[in-house]
Structure formats: structure tokens, C-alpha cells
């Protein structure tokens, strides 16, 4: 049937879904500016939108990354130097304009760490 209509078996081009409105993005931004530690599932209930939509707006539109802090292994005596350098580096990053606004602490982790 498709071949008879178009002469091709190729899949038709799909139209992209429209992204969230600027107003929706601003509502999400304001929610996390007021309380950065707010869990995304609570924010999604307050904003009456899907949690996946909240994460997509945070990730794609506001360029905010989520982190789930966890202890992966016990610290050894030799790790003190590494801990010190991490703290110094993190402190320098916090002094950069806007870095602290990009941090979101949540009780749910959906992003994997990506080292570039």
C-alpha cells in the first residue's frame, strides 16, 4: 500500500514534538532556585508535570546536572592528598559564576556520571 502511494518503502519523516514553553522552563527554574535540594518527584507534583519532564528541562534547557552522593569505598591513609585536591578544586568551582546554581542534590539519581 505504501509503495503504491509514494513509490518508496522508506519511513516517513517525523515531525518533532514542540519543547516546553519558556514559561514552563521558568517555573521549573524558580522552583529549584528557591529550594535546590528539593527532590524532583516533589517538584513534579507541585508543578503538575511528569518527573521525566522536570529532569529533561533541568538537563536540556537549564543545563543542570543531578548527582547522587554515595560512599563507594573506605578512605585509606593515602587518600588525604586526593581529598585535599578535590576540596580545593571544588571550592574554586564554587567561586565561578553560576556553578552553584547548576548543582541539584536529590534523593533520586537518574543521571550517570560522565567523565570528560
Q: What is the pLDDT of residues 25-57, one digit of tens each?
A: 999 999 988 888 888 899 999 999 999 999 999
**Per-residue pLDDT at 74:** 77
Element (H, E) at 29: helix 22-34
Mean pLDDT of 53-81: 82
- Given this model, what pLDDT does residue 112 score? 47
- Report the candidate in 41, 100, 96, 94 with the shortest Cα–Cα distance to residue 65: 100
The pLDDT of residue 108: 61
Cell of 38: 528539593
SS (H, E, C) 50-111: CHHHHHHHHHHHCCCEEECCCCCCCCCHHHHHHHHHHHHHHHHHHHCCCCHHHEEECCCCCC
- Measured between alpha carbons, how far is residue 13 from residues 29, 75, 77 in Å? 33, 53, 59
pLDDT tens digits, one per residue of 80-116: 888 889 899 988 888 887 787 777 766 665 544 455 5
Amino acid at each position: 500500500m505504501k509503495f503504491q502511494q509514494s513509490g518508496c518503502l522508506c519511513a516517513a519523516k517525523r515531525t518533532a514534538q514542540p519543547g516546553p514553553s519558556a514559561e514552563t522552563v521558568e517555573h521549573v527554574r524558580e522552583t529549584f532556585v528557591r529550594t535546590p535540594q528539593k527532590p524532583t518527584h516533589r517538584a513534579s507534583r507541585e508543578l503538575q508535570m511528569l518527573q521525566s519532564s522536570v529532569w529533561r528541562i533541568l538537563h536540556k534547557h537549564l543545563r543542570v546536572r543531578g548527582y547522587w552522593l554515595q560512599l563507594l569505598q573506605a578512605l585509606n591513609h593515602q587518600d588525604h592528598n586526593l581529598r585535599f585536591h578535590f576540596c580545593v578544586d571544588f571550592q574554586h568551582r564554587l567561586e565561578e559564576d553560576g556553578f552553584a546554581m547548576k548543582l541539584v542534590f536529590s534523593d533520586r539519581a537518574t543521571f550517570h556520571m560522565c567523565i570528560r
